[in-house]
A and B are shown apart, each in its own frame.
Chain A
């Protein structure tokens, strides 16, 4: 990959992120709602709310607030949370590991299982296996994650006692080392299962459709005519099918986060999704802006990485 291409793409990232920064600020501040009510509670007097407004700089004109915010971000300062009273960067950073663990585990599982089920369905076209895979994945896709989560809790946690109902660790026992890791994995199982079921259909359908199309192409026919075993034929076809699948998986990273909001609430998983929801309800502008900025950068970079990954997967693609 020529360095000039990479530099050019990176140069495109900067104005995109800057535009998003201003857009996010305007959307949040122009939306109806007053953060000092969420902060001050219901019983304050007018002077108290005025005091809070001035303390957080909310009494200043919006353009001035925007300039101050942009200048602070350029200095690497995302501000101080209204609610937490601490640096926004710290508040967000504390929640990233839990969400990354949940989202990447579900993303990895839904990709691997999705590809596997897609291959299975394509290989058994119009047979009961194909119908069953389609039915299960579409049901998972069509069911709201919060409802799926509640059902999973009732059946697999309360009903059988196999899994815990909530949290990332056991509240009663503080474990370390391997025991801690196993405790986290035990708590991770149900949320990942629910998020995976919600996201499985897309990958499965893409792989199935792509493979069925590939099975009709000349190179597959030639491979079969040469007497290659069916597994090798499928592997061969799968590589060509993976390009759109990778694109979709990359672009779903942002969507996964939105799905994670509901799953995090149901399973009391202490991640970014819950922080986003609580900050939205309390109108914690600095945290919301910090999170939107982080998500914007993540989506822009995910797209860039997806583009760069094309060349590895398809040698016909050349960068200019």
Chain B
């Protein structure tokens, strides 16, 4: 009896003691209205029209002003936004969207199907690089039978459409502001009108973009703060100091060296994501120029892969903020990512054996020399160049160091992006390089361009390796026409199995961004451009 009383008392005491913590946690998550949220952005966007550019700077600063037809949930799957529902017909060759009723632009004019048709036909398909490149040639037309219905007709089944309709890939802009004007110089680009959760207030060039709550937003009750300020702070370490000093409430990314300082600080919350408005789901990839005699030989490429310890790239360059790539397609697209593939493991002995087998022999110090390598004069040294953006210099240093151990000489050639792209894709003046290939929300957008032989072109960040495999081409073509996800998944798995064998590239590490905000704030959605739609901060 005494024991039972004690138990009851203990339970009661526990409830009394735990309750404040529970209530406190609940109170912490209870949205608070009002106040100003300050978001740090790394660059001045130049303008605030995300429909005419894929620039990450513009998209990060402006997507909260707009909406797409659809949004993205935390798994990257489509959810209703301006369209409340949709139907896929004719095996994926026709998409019918029903728009929400009563949505208004920030200037009070009604949003209609005509805005969607105009945005796609006159703006996105002309100026938005990803939308234009992926669906431009396949779209047969857009019909608007009434003000609330939009129909996309394709020349053949087109699978990725539903993943290309968020504010990042296809923000909808107002026809009444842009019709009859040049979208790139329209004054509305600097004082935008959208349908999104925040209304434009002012844009002080180089300093900040000031937004205010859209009180007539079509999602009831949202957003919470009265104002949101995008503050331009170009240096990431200064952004961290601003967060610590209470001058910023949200950071898009943390710099590697300061990562642990913030993630281990109880005053802040952090979330890792592969999403970024400038390019999602990116893999740092080493490309081999298959037109060069040394790298044409698959055993040399395999030797390079065995010589590289990718874990070192993850820990020494990314400070653990990412993952070693497990397949050619990012794990952030789980349905297309081929888990369990046997990528070459770090194995110096295997690398040396492969090089010896080709005829690259160790002769004293320095790079190996050719002795009977087909197509290469005897005595030629095994030396390759490695192009990289200056920002990726550490990748170059590690590649040079690790390949040097097995007798492969590496000459580093740091080139700015504007020089790198024509050197690699137009002049094809390189042996190897490292590129951050962003897979995007669907492999059709960011993966096909790396492997399809039609993508060997001067256009930047296409098929750098000049890889040609008719079987891979056919599989990609089939995948783009296949709407059922299971079938597409199987096709992409086959593709990945083949390219892992052929090794035109070596997939080093998947990069992610770590978003950060103080614990007094909540409701940020790290995986979408409408990241602050449901956010709030306590003061």
Residues of A participating in the B interface, judged by any CB pair closer than 8 Å = 32-35, 37-46, 48-49, 51, 55, 80-81, 83-86, 91, 94-95, 98, 150, 153-154, 157-158, 161, 164-169, 171-172, 174, 265-268, 270-271, 274-275, 278, 281-283
Contact = CB atoms under 8 A, between A and B. Distances in A.
A270 B206 contact: yes
Interface string B459-472: 11100000000000
B484 interface: no
B47 interface: yes
Contact of B231 (A39, A45, A268): A268
20 contacts: A33-B419, A40-B54, A42-B129, A42-B460, A43-B440, A43-B445, A44-B130, A46-B458, A49-B459, A84-B205, A158-B245, A164-B245, A164-B247, A167-B231, A171-B247, A172-B38, A266-B238, A268-B232, A268-B235, A274-B44
Contacts of B445: 43
Given A85-B184, A171-B231, 9 more contacts: A41-B55, A42-B438, A43-B133, A44-B460, A55-B184, A268-B231, A270-B205, A278-B43, A281-B416
Contacts of B446: 43
A307 to B, nearest CB: 34
Contact of A81 (B46, B231, B247, B418): B46
Contacts of A98: 206
Contact of A171 (B129, B229, B459): B229
B185 interface: yes
A86 B190 contact: yes
B88 interface: no
A36 to B, nearest CB: 9
A160 to B, nearest CB: 11
Contacts of A282: 418
B279 A171 contact: no
Given A166-B238, A266-B235, A34 B36 contact: no
Instruction: Pick the most buried of A39, A43, A55, A98: most chain B CB atoms within 10 A of its CB.
Output: A43
A166 B459 contact: no
Interface string B504-520: 00000000000000000
Given A43-B446, A158-B241, A270 B417 contact: no
Contacts of A32: 415, 418-419, 422-423
B237 A274 contact: no
Contacts of B36: 171-172
Given A94-B206, A274-B206, A153 B238 contact: yes
Contacts of A43: 54, 129-130, 133, 279, 438, 440, 445-446, 449, 461
Contacts of B205: 84, 91, 94-95, 270
Interface string B213-257: 000000000000000010111110110011011011000000000
A174 B212 CA distance: 13
A161 B419 CA distance: 43
Contact of A38 (B132, B278, B418, B459): B418
A167 B207 contact: yes
B457 to A, nearest CB: 5
Contacts of B47: 84-86
A166 B460 contact: no
A148 B130 CA distance: 42
A45 B53 CA distance: 14
A24 B458 CA distance: 28
A173 B458 CA distance: 49
B244 A34 contact: no
Contacts of B46: 81, 83-85
B422 A34 contact: yes
A164 B248 CA distance: 11
Nearest to B205: A94
Contacts of B133: 43-45, 48
A267 B238 contact: yes
B504 to A, nearest CB: 18
Instruction: Pick the most buried of A94, A165, A169: most chain B CB atoms within 10 A of its CB.
Output: A165
